Amino acid sequence: MGSAFPDVIPAVSALVARVQDAAALNALDTLWILIAAILVFFMQAGFSVLEAGLVRTKNAGNVLMKNLLDFAFAALGYFIFGYAIMYGTQGLLFGTEGWFLAGAESPVEGVPVEAFWLFQAVFAGAAATIVAGAVAERMKFTSYLAYSFILSAFIYPIVGHWVWGGGWLADIGFHDFAGSTVVHAVGGVSGLVGAWVLGPRYGKFNADGSPNAIGGHSLPLASLGVFILWFGWYGFNAGSTLGMGEPDVVARVAINTTLAPSIATVTAMVTSWIRYGKPDLMLALNGALAGLVAITAPCAAVGPGAALFIGAIAGVLCIYGIAWIDALRVDDPVGAVAVHGLCGVFGTLAVGLWGREAYGASADGLFMGGGFGALGVQMLGVVAALGFTAVAMWIVFKAIDSVLGLRVSHETELRGLDIDEHGIESYAGFQIFTTE
């Protein structure tokens, strides 16, 4: 009998340790973060069908393939390098610990690092996939994969560390609750640089610089994509509370994530109606996305009234933004630069206009009686984050171009990337192309 006690004592100690570990974890917060991560992952499907609908049939499969591999490469890159750079230490510029998640910790008390990693990894995938639309119909598949890995593993995590990982922008009070700049504007600026380096599609611009409309092949697919994205955005914004400890904040984020895109859809539709003579479906859909992007940074720091102002302005801004990008002779087939880049910047600056310290902003915004201090911090953060992104991505795209080449041949562009890059037809028996 006595010999059995030495075996029982370690077993009891191990059981007590497991109970203590379980007690240290917050099941509700962990569940909320996992549900939100799954919602944000589903946004990848939204981006896929939106972008596929906005390109021609001969390129639909290529865009879908890029969106699929976007997340695969983002998850791997963020696991190997990205999380360590973003959350590894509290350094001013980047982290240096936790490669392959070895020894990595969650910054959210009571939430396992694996759950927190998943939530951050799907954000990295979202940033990368924004670029797919801006460079659609002319970028080599292998070159796109190289870009996607580099952005997810290095560029996005550095900006993320500055804002969310305890870096220098966090120290000065820069506020981007769910990623108008960190995710969307970084993706939008990367898309702008990529589209500029690539050059426009064949036939997009006339000799005098005037643009020609190159319509997508399926507005139903594009519409479905926007509805999926809006659905997933509740995980994107409300999930960024990182727990249910403050249900009033979660509720405020959710209502703002409803009101801003709703009014943005209306103002975008009205603007397109006045500007072009018809209420354009695609521009209204982009308006909805513009409202979602713009409210992402201030979603927790403003009230519903401010959310309406932010959404209303974003809806108009995206319509004119698309025209401004065309005027620069930059070919963006899906409007990603205007929606994610321009409206991401506006949404971040909106914190400095309508943000409320009582709601978690670092200071009251200009329109809330707080003066120009908060707006100045937001402006500095936007310039720093996007300036770094633009320079880094220009170097990345130029390096890839010199090694692999960025653009497909003229013949491949005319024939379609589905056939030449993948040997498939998205709509078998209905492929129509010309090589003349």
Task: Please write the tens of the pLDDT for every residue from 46-57.
Answer: 999 999 999 999
Give the per-residue pLDDT at 2: 47
Grouping H, G, I as helix, E, B as strand and the rest as coil, residue 211 is strand
Q: Residue 366 and residue 363: Cα distance in Å, rounded?
A: 9
Grouping H, G, I as helix, E, B as strand and the rest as coil, residue 205 is strand
Q: By CB neighbour count within 10 A (0-12 exposed, 13-18 middle, 19+ buried), where does 343 fall?
A: buried
- What single-letter amino acid sits at 140? K
201 secondary structure, DSSP code? P
Average pLDDT over residues 388-408: 98
In contact, 135 and 195? CB cutoff 8 Å: yes
Q: Residue 111 and residue 240: Cα distance in Å, rounded?
A: 13
Q: 414-420 long-range CB contacts below 8 Å, 24 or more apart?
A: 414/202, 415/58, 416/56, 416/57, 416/58, 416/59, 416/62, 417/58, 417/59, 417/61, 417/62, 417/137, 417/138, 417/141, 418/58, 418/59, 418/60, 418/61, 418/62, 419/58
Give the per-residue pLDDT at 14: 55
Give the per-residue pLDDT at 429: 72
In contact, 34 and 198? CB cutoff 8 Å: no
Q: Residue 391 and residue 1: Cα distance in Å, rounded?
A: 73
Please enumerate in sequence order all residues whose Cβ is within 8 A of that of 220, keeping only pairs 6 or more positions apart, or say none: 53
Q: Does domain 25-422 have CATH number 1.10.3430.10?
A: yes
Average pLDDT over residues 65-83: 97
> Which two three-digit tokens encode residue 369?
């009686």
Give the per-residue pLDDT at 256: 98
Give the per-residue pLDDT at 19: 43
In contact, 333 and 137? CB cutoff 8 Å: yes
Beta bridge partners of 407: 139
Give the per-residue pLDDT at 91: 83
Q: Residue 436 and residue 434: Cα distance in Å, rounded?
A: 6
Average pLDDT over residues 247-268: 98
Q: Residue 87 and residue 120: Cα distance in Å, rounded?
A: 10
Q: What is the pLDDT of residues 290-334, one digit of tens each?
A: 999 999 999 999 999 999 999 999 999 999 999 999 999 999 999
In contact, 302 and 359? CB cutoff 8 Å: yes
Q: What percentage of the chain reaches a pLDDT higher than 90?
A: 91
Least Cα distance to 396 among 57, 85, 158, 48 occurs for: 158
**φ/ψ bin of 366: left (φ > 0), alpha (ψ from -120 to 50), beta (otherwise):** alpha
Q: What is the pLDDT of residues 109-158, one digit of tens each?
A: 999 999 999 999 999 999 999 999 999 999 999 999 999 999 999 999 99
Least Cα distance to 300 among 173, 177, 119, 172 occurs for: 177
Give the per-residue pLDDT at 140: 98
Q: 201-204 long-range CB contacts below 8 Å, 24 or more apart?
A: 201/137, 201/138, 201/331, 201/333, 201/413, 202/410, 202/413, 202/414, 204/331
Grouping H, G, I as helix, E, B as strand and the rest as coil, residue 313 is helix
Give the per-residue pLDDT at 434: 56
Length of the chain: 436
> Which two three-digit tokens encode residue 412?
């491949």
Average pLDDT over residues 245-264: 98
- 66-70, 97-101, 123-127, 425-429: least confidently modelled range: 425-429
Average pLDDT over residues 249-260: 98
Average pLDDT over residues 389-413: 97
Diameter over CA atoms, the chain = 96
Give the per-residue pLDDT at 1: 43
Please enumerate in sequence order all residues whose Cβ is within 8 A of that of 21, keeping only pairs 6 or more positions apart, or say none: none
Q: Residue 340 and residue 321: Cα distance in Å, rounded?
A: 10
Give the per-residue pLDDT at 428: 82
What is the rounded average pLDDT for all residues in the chain? 94
Average pLDDT over residues 374-400: 98
In contact, 123 and 183? CB cutoff 8 Å: yes
